[in-house]
Structure 1
Amino acid sequence: MEAAQEAPKRPPLDVIALSDEPFLAAHGIPQLTVVESTGSTNADLLRGASENPAAYPDLTVLAAEHQTAARGRLDRRWEAPARSSVSVSLVLRPVNADGRPLPTQSYSWLSLLGALALREALLETAGIPAELKWPNDVLVRGRKVAGILAQLGPMHGGAVPPVILGTGLNVSLTTAELPVPNATSVLLEGPATVDRTVLLKSYLSRFALLYRSFCNADGDPAAGMAGGHSLHKRVEAVLTTLGKQVRAHLPGDHEIIGHASRLDDYGSLMVVDSGGHEHVVTAGDVVHLRPWTPPGQEPEGGGRRGSAESGYA
């Protein structure tokens, strides 16, 4: 890690490779656009889907070389150097093979599905073993390398509203450029590649496969998916949050302390307190979720507490 302090060369995304017609067609991506700079790819797609829904079909992709007003959960804002990250958003209009919309309660799984796809892409492409942190982070060795932000789009004519799914992956950030101390980047983890085009194509292909399988199962997280186990089981298997003592900070200065035991059918975190009561913690409500160590005990990880709060990258 110490040898990678100078900012590396940061070539642009290969638009020709990303726009390859066979690649797009094979993954059901109707259009993929790369812009040099924008405030937020999520905001752009939310606005576009509102003003002209027909022009933004399912799996429309927008990537940016630089975002100047990117935001994550609870409106946390962040900015990374140009061409140092994979910043991409997708329009999702989930329907099954018969064209029937998925129940909106299944939408809560989409950010976890995106995180799982990114984890698989990092392992496959860069050789990096990543894990998930509930509700929307991807970690490498306990440090945040990426985040996911799902936002519900506008409803038109009674149609089911789309979901805009944004993903921010730190790729070539040096230690000095990290947004918070508990973050990391692909570059800092000894990767097989830091080629953002390769990483983005791998992520999109993984996501499209999982997403289509999830849609064809009518959004049932317990149904078997492409590649084997259900989405529910696959997420739980790589969710570093489970089995830990956590402190969930909720709106109104409320908190729940207990054992993170499992995910429920809606992707919410179940936390069992010291009295044995099970609490439902939803991604939409939680302000912060952090490891918790009882007074007088050593925290896990050699004393490192807290979590990166850097939005969706």
Structure 2
Amino acid sequence: MEAAQETPDRPPLDLNALSNEAFLSAHGIPRLTVVESTGSTNADLLRGVSEDPGAWPDLSVLTAEYQTAARGRLDRRWEAPARSSVSVSLVLRPVNADGRPLPTDSYSWLSLLAALALREALTETAGLPADLKWPNDVLVRGRKIAGILAQLGPISGAGTPPVVLGTGLNVTLTEPDLPVPTATSVLLENPETVDRTELLKSYLSRFATLYRSFCNADGDPAAGLAGGPSLHKRLEHLLTTLGKQVRAQLPGDHEIIGHATRLDEYGSLLVVDATGHEHVVTAGDVVHLRPWNPAGAADQGTAVQGKGAQGSAGGAESGYA
């Protein structure tokens, strides 16, 4: 019989490091708030941008040590031990360098942009071989470690509709903490660090850079991004979904089985079925997306779940994660 895993040390986030003015100003973060406990950081910000829009400018950040009512994509729920995850939400008010609002069609790329930033943080800060799974998951060695959720805020007047972008990352969850065997955490993957403060700072800095570049390109996924390839090209190389046989489960017990070929200009997944017909699968509609064995064997892999890998795999409210 295996010995029970010891509960890892779970220190609080370093408030001094997160509130450092040099760090915040360097990345254009006007406000960063840390709370000990809340129901959901996404829900808090959605309420905040509705009740007091001026208090939450573009790239404002809210992060919690513990969430009691976190929800993911399609209203999935999850819960992780206190101080075991990075649970963070941002307010986005996307405008270009001239202050012109981005077309709302481009908003569908924001969760993928966040997933890309988180992958970079995991790879470069924790030394983990992270991959992306459409539409909103980050995987390590095929197991879900994080998820993202973008939610549209209230539209009022002629202003830019805000987006609340939630990210949940499993950091020090042990095997017994995981709700399903297809989830994982930074701790379980032999990382270079499990410092949540460093991981959060790494993610925020990378996201801010990619986000500002995306905005200055007017939300064009085919434009060069942050001095490198476009968002579309980067995702084409990083999404494990592309080039695979998949089964997309849709509302009403509908499903599409076929070859995941590419992303369209809105970030939707294009799936070609056995008859050669190309289907457009949107992130907002898909219930589950799983690898499919053409011979009809049982599905493998994880469902497309919300933030983090939990509840649906643990640690994020996702989509928000």
TM-score (norm 2): 0.93
User: What are structure 1's unaligned runs of at least 5 residues?
Assistant: none
- Quick one: distance in 1 between partners of 2:287 and 2:29? 34
**Which of 286, 303, 308 lines up with 1:307 in the alignment?**
303
Whichever residue aligns with residue 13 of structure 1, its letter is L
Q: 1:176: which partner in 2?
A: 176
- Quick one: distance in 1 between partners of 2:16 and 2:187? 24
Whichever residue aligns with residue 147 of structure 2, its letter is G
Does the Cα contact within 8 Å between 1:181 and 1:308 map onto a contact in 2?
Answer: no
Matches within 5 A, 1:76-155: 76-155=76-155
Helix, strand or coil at the partner of 2:42: helix
Q: CA deviation at 1:51?
A: 0.3
- Quick one: distance in 2 between partners of 1:304 and 1:5? 27
User: What are structure 2's unaligned runs of at least 5 residues?
Assistant: 306-311
Q: CA deviation at 1:239?
A: 0.2
- Quick one: distance in 2 between partners of 1:87 and 1:126? 17
Helix, strand or coil at the partner of 1:99: coil
Whichever residue aligns with residue 32 of structure 2, its letter is L
- Quick one: distance in 2 between partners of 1:91 and 1:188? 31
Q: 1:4 to 1:98 in 2, by over 3 A?
A: farther
Does the Cα contact within 8 Å between 1:38 and 1:68 map onto a contact in 2?
Answer: yes
Q: 1:100 to 1:199 in 2, by over 3 A?
A: same
Does the Cα contact within 8 Å between 1:132 and 1:240 map onto a contact in 2?
Answer: yes
- Quick one: distance in 1 between partners of 2:123 and 2:215? 24
Helix, strand or coil at the partner of 2:132: strand
Q: 1:199: which partner in 2?
A: 199
- Quick one: distance in 1 between partners of 2:266 and 2:196? 32
Does the Cα contact within 8 Å between 2:224 and 2:230 map onto a contact in 1?
Answer: yes
Q: CA deviation at 1:304?
A: 4.1
Q: CA deviation at 1:217?
A: 0.1
Does the Cα contact within 8 Å between 1:143 and 1:308 map onto a contact in 2?
Answer: no
Q: CA deviation at 1:158?
A: 3.0
Whichever residue aligns with residue 251 of structure 1, its letter is P
Matches within 5 A, 1:159-170: 159-170=159-170
Helix, strand or coil at the partner of 1:78: coil
- Quick one: distance in 2 between partners of 1:112 and 1:45? 20
- Quick one: distance in 1 between partners of 2:97 and 2:48? 25
Q: 1:286: which partner in 2?
A: 286
- Quick one: distance in 2 between partners of 1:129 and 1:201? 19
Helix, strand or coil at the partner of 1:13: coil
User: Size of the alignment, in residue pairs?
Assistant: 308
Q: 1:216 to 1:4 in 2, by over 3 A?
A: farther
Helix, strand or coil at the partner of 1:43: helix
- Quick one: distance in 1 between partners of 2:4 and 2:121? 23
Residues 65-97 of structure 1: per-residue CA shift (max 9 Å, x gap): 000000000000000000000000000000000
Whichever residue aligns with residue 222 of structure 1, its letter is A
- Across the aligned residues of Structure 1 and Structure 2, the Cα RMSD in angstroms comes to 1.5
Matches within 5 A, 1:8-19: 8-19=8-19
Identity of aligned residues (%): 81
Q: CA deviation at 1:236?
A: 1.5
